[in-house]
Amino acid sequence: MKTEKAYKLLARQEKISNRAAKELIDRGVVYSGGKKVVVARGELPVSAKFKVLEIKKSKKLFEDENLIAIEKPSFISSEEIAKSYGYPLLHRLDKETSGILLLVKNEEFRKKAIKLFKDKKVKKEYIAWVEGIVAEKAVINAPIETIKTKNSIFSKISKKRGKEAVTFIEPLMIEGKKTKLKIEIETGRTHQIRVHLKSIGHPIVGDEKYGGKEYKRIMLHAHKIELDSYSFESKEPPEFTRLH
């Protein structure tokens, strides 16, 4: 059976450059035969057909002299958003996480906001679909250690080397063997929600890195954020209403 590199086949099908095809695969939006294509240079049959998920555009919700509130779509990095708007990030969302992202416009407000985060005076609410049935509210209080390498970041529970991390969860809906949760975090460790949910046996749907089953995206959405006198909310994406 004749094969060729996935990105070359995709470029031919979509009539785009090899570089653009590689970027789409790296974003996690390319599927073939019902499975996500994860290695751009991986070999596939020349007869392979691809489905490319739509990448939505970011939307500016608010701007004043201190900050810009952006509605971030899935599959775009926080750094890309910052570059496109020309202002630095106040915080980050993972690439596949959608929702409210804040950019800061002056140093005075940046310092004030950082202190609010440090003093746990910022309210952050997320929505997620997780594997399994979560029947009751719970508090996950487990220290997190983050390991950074040249090409990746990974976090884990570590009582010895971890930093304090507190997550509150509340079930909103149960569908089959999956649960929709409202989540609030008191701290903001790297991958905190993903690691904490994995630690209680309920990884996020689509979060294969932390034990979830493959899905079209990681089902985590930054729903609300409140800091200082500001309050912003991002509606749930259509795919969060019910799982299909």
Active centre residues (catalytic)? 94
Number of residues in the chain: 244
Angle CA 153–97–203, to nearest 5: 70
- DSSP calls for the chain: --EEEHHHHHHHHHT--HHHHHHHHHHT-EEETTEE---TT-EEETT--EEE---PPPEEEEE-SSEEEEEEPTTS-HHHHHHHHTS-BSS---TT-EEEEEEE--HHHHHHHHHHHHTT--EEEEEEEEES---S-EEEE--EEEEE-SS-EEEEE-TTTPBP-EEEEEEEEEETTEEEEEEEESS--TTHHHHHHHHTT-PBTT-GGGTPPP-SS--EEEEEEEETTEEEE-PPPGGGTS--
Residue type, 74: S
